[in-house]
Amino acid sequence: MSYLNELNEVQRKAVTNTDGPVLVVAGPGSGKTRVLTYRIAHLIEQGAAPWEILTLTFTNKAAKEMKKRIATVVGDKANKVWAGTFHSIFSRILRVEAEKIGYTSNFTIYDSDDSKSLIGNIIRGMGLDTKKYNSNAIRSRISSAKSKLLSPQAYANNEEWLLQDRMNARPMLAEIYKRYAARCKSAGAMDFDDLLFKLYELLDQNPDNVKEKYQQKFKYVLVDEFQDTNQLQYQIVKKLVEYEGSPNNICVVGDDAQSIYAFRGATIENILDFEKDYKSKGIKIFKLEQNYRSTDHIVQAANEVITKNRKQIQKKIWSDKGEGHKIKVIKAISDTEEGRRVADTIIEHKNRYHLSNSEIAVLYRTNAQSRIIEEYLRRQNVAYKIFGGQSFYQRKEVKDLLGYMRVVVNPNDEEAFKRVVNFPKRGIGKSSIDKIIAFASENGMSLWDSLGKVPLPAKATKSLGEFVKMIRSFQRVCETANAYDAASVISKKSGVTDALKGDSSVEGVNRLENMNSLLDGVKDFVDSDEEVVGLEDKSLASFLQTIALYTDQDEDKGDKEFVTLMSVHAAKGLEFKSILLTGLEENLFPSFMSMDSPDAIDEERRLFYVAITRAEQFLTLSFAKSRIQHGKMRYNPPSRFLEEISLNHIESTAVISGRRLSEPSRAGVSGNFKSNKRAAPALMIDPKDFQPSPSSEIKEGMEVLHLKFGKGKIVKIDGGVENRIATINFSQIDSPERRIMLKFARLQIVS
């Protein structure tokens, strides 16, 4: 049993105490997977049959890795262990037992698109408003009901859920759920949630003693990432484990401090109440508190933060990897400055500490935050990859709105035209579009010029006429409006915004945030004074030129060494030498949606805990005093989570709610690191106190303030009355002489 020698004392006890209920509380980086796999291997070594061991995970990758590790100890026996995700294992059981609940063994499994399509058909068939009854939001609601053990009948009798539906102007939701369940049944189909819900029904109704069959089959049940289970999953496990004369051989492994999936239905109460549930059965609890990943400053900061949560299993993680580097805090005036300084810090870590791109990750609370970070990484020529999502400009909702902008600027843009002509749906079917394409090709014309010349069904002809009228109205707006004003009109009147607002699911909210972030980018382009000369206007066409330069660089150039960009949720379970966590402001992290709920704030704090414990050696936390959101400048105070870290763990400089941290280095570069390029200093101009002066009053020789470049002196002014260009010397920045068109500049006269 040499494998036991690889374990510390607590890990060894968790592995070898195989009988009865066991709770393993596993802190971050504490060797959780090793304990779980060696426990299974030890069971087999002690004589347990591998096919009598059921191990439930949340990813197929985790199950595969587990079997691989078990095999290093017990060989091919590992392949006979029932190890897999809840869905994969339960679908195997349902294939065998399906006839007992009225299904055939070859039932179809509907994916999310199948479910949304069926729900959409039901909604339209009932004559309901598809904006109020958005199919994705309805699917999410039904999924939530199943995770709470609510059948269609139970839903219809649950006054609390019905009241919520009435308050959300969706009183027919219970009927939709009933019809959806019936349609799935008649089609011989189950959706992903049914793979759990139908198994629960099977065990609960217990036809032909099927429950006893599986209780006897699985002598040992193990659950990984137990803090991520929902009520339905736990109830299924209980039915397999709890019965008269049961040895209660259940082992759950998890960390309440890393429970971050409430929006998916996970309930932290499962792990918090596990000890109480099995106290009478002689439960054993083992706490894995040694962190093998991070240095001491990071570990102790994590401890300080998580102790603020109200409900938790008490533990204190520790590390013997030395103090390491203190945590760096970046305070930025704006979100654009934050993006630049994050990129500068990455360059520092690469040059000063010789980290490779693959050892660095940038984390954010919402995917929409990636836009500015991506832009500055491109400027620094740093290879990056979006993990758990697409590059910002490749996201569908972003490309849809950009498609409208492209058609307005250039109606002959064929790809953009095809993308938006029937989005949102306006009754122009694929066959009509194919006819237009064929006619244009045969006559050497653009699709736009072909409109009105192709015989089409009356509905399609009318809809195309309205589409053309709408695009031409947008073109008239663009004749006088800047890029942001034009983009705002297009997003609202095209129907794109309404289409996204109708989806209240988590995914739908994220898509709306991404589209609003694109509009924020247009606003930033209009307000920015950078590179004005050469792009002589702030039109929509000029904005699209700059976007084309960005999107052309999205292609993979074959460089496998990239910096990882991802949301904090996507980072769970991963680790990097350097973590840069951005956007640490109230209403962003913690999210504004959590402000009215203590439980939601606790979950946000757990999410922060997960983020900072991904770091092995370097942890950088950043926040901005101002941020453009939904086209408006927002001023949010620093996140409360920054306040919860003791100053003795902080290396960088910032002022957080009156707390003075050590003075920051230029542009976020600390120590004696010398860059080949002198970075712009952190400019201490508060946007709330900044008052731009009328451009007509700005004269040669004046001293002025600029939000981004600081104090400068007007060297000369040339150009016509409407297009005056000022040459300004900003002494504190690299390449101090800037030429800025005054009618777009935002300058405050100092003297």
> Which residue carries 């020698």 as its tokens?
5
Tokens standing for residue 397: 């909702």
Catalytic residue, candidates 97, 194, 224, 513? 224
d(CA 186, CA 38): 45
Catalytic residue, candidates 146, 170, 523, 614? 614
CA distances from 338 to 334, 458, 672, 689 (A): 6, 53, 21, 20
Chain-centroid distance of CA 334 in Å reads: 22
Q: Is 129 helix (H, G, I), strand (E, B) or coil?
A: coil
Q: Tell the burial category of 477 from Cβ atoms under 10 Å away from its Cβ (0-12, 13-18, 19+).
A: middle
d(CA 191, CA 140): 12
**Length of the chain as a residue count:** 751
Q: In 3D, which of 245, 247, 229 has the Cα closest to residue 237?
A: 229
Q: In 3D, which of 270, 250, 258 has the Cα closest to residue 315?
A: 258
Sign (positive or negative) of CA dihedral 250, 251, 257, 260: negative
Q: Tell the burial category of 489 from Cβ atoms under 10 Å away from its Cβ (0-12, 13-18, 19+).
A: middle
Catalytic residue, candidates 258, 290, 369, 613? 258
Helices and strands (H, E) in the chain, number of each type: 29, 22
Helix (H) or strand (E) holding 618: strand 615-629
d(CA 335, CA 319): 34
Tokens standing for residue 267: 């309930």
Tokens standing for residue 605: 């704090």
**55 tagged catalytic:** no
**233 tagged catalytic:** no
**614 tagged catalytic:** yes
**718 tagged catalytic:** no
Tokens standing for residue 136: 């994705």
**225 tagged catalytic:** yes
Sequence-separated (6 or more) residues with CB below 8 Å from residue 432 = 456, 457, 460, 464
d(CA 63, CA 78): 11
Chain-centroid distance of CA 378 in Å reads: 21
**33 tagged catalytic:** yes
Q: Which residues are catalytic?
A: 32-33, 224-225, 258, 614
